[in-house]
Structure 1
Amino acid sequence: MYLPSAFEETRPEVLHALMREHPLGALVTQGPAGLDANHLPFELDTSRGTHGTLTGHVARANPLWREVADGDEVLVIFKGGDAYVSPNWYPSKHESHQQVPTWNYCVVHAHGHIKIRDDEKFVRGVVARLTRTHEKQAEPDSPWKMTDSSPDYIARMLGAIVGIEIDITRLLGKFKLSQNREQRDADGVVQALRDRHQDELVRLMTAGPR
């Protein structure tokens, strides 16, 4: 990833926060047919490993879990908020007319080593934890639980998926938030994004010194 120093984000807590707020990651692997990408919801455990551990699952019918070997290097991409930036939002544009459009965005690249976990206990735990986390947001008053379904049905569903675990070895964060602009231009972008309800980008751009 091209990463100018102005846009580099290295604080682990900030990178982990984006990964938790946007848990649907693009898992990039190298298999017999070349590069492949699968989009999967991940659970992040920051208490395990130097940079954390990701867990998730894939369909048993998905060839991914057979095409990678334990220890293979993989990349998971987590994307946060993004927005087009018009030159009209820069006060300086109206003076010099020497500005061009750009795009503001936040991404985290998690490099690591994958391990296949084809065991029912592991998969059941992953599904239970992911469900608890996301049901709190989707249905806070009446969250779905695995026990809402019969044990036989849940057992069949769990048998149709395979667990994966990724030990994160490196985290790269690119938060392109107009840091290379003079303050009045950055403020113009903030106001335009606020008007367009781009709350996540506004929050990050106004968070203070980095």
Structure 2
Amino acid sequence: MDGNGRWATQRGRPRLFGHHAGAKRVREVVQSCPDVGVDYLTIFAFSTENWKRTQVEVAGLMSLFRRYITKEARALDQFGARVRFIGDRMRLDAKLIKLMDDLEDMTSSNTAVNLTIALNYGGRDEVARATKRLARDVAQGRLSPDDVDEETLPKYLDTYVLPDPDLVIRTSGEARISNFLLWQSAYAEYEFIDTLWPDFTAEEFASLCASYGGRDRRFGAVKT
């Protein structure tokens, strides 16, 4: 969900103004998922690298996350969204973690759409944490080194209960993946679009999903 800061700057407003505008856009996209056949949606809210931003912006974002969860929890539950969070929670404050836990519990039986929020998430960090857990199981004799393969590691990732993404959309005109779902996106289709996230509509989302539906996915094979 990139481009919030630039969107605000273009309007002569502080960057946090753009983040608030971007947060409002999330509900529209989430609620459009059933209509376009999307069962799983993952949004990248805050990366492990985002701590490098100014203290004012980081503090504002953390406040926004707390307010967003508090404000949207009931609406997400009533809509039928099952919410999960991925990322390293250790650096987040206790109040935010409690809100995240409560929202996951509240929506655990919902089935309309699976919404995953990546918060303090980084693909490399996730793989490093997964590898550490895997190595611990090997060291303690719960897993044989000979059994470690590309089917084993995903069981230790934050996304172990989720399917790999089919389509990754990057807004704001940047043509890079920025440490997002590195392992899981090995064969994902990509869309890099110029739209800044606060301007991203459900209609554009539907159009991109329709375009994806016409792609020929071979996963490295050749059709005969």
Specify the TM-score bucket, using the shorter chain as the normaliser: under 0.3
What is the TM-score with the length of structure 2 in the denominator? 0.23
Higher share in helix: 2
Considering only CA atoms, is the larger Rg found in Structure 1 or Structure 2? 1
Q: Structure 1 length as normaliser, TM-score?
A: 0.24
Structure with greater strand percent:
1
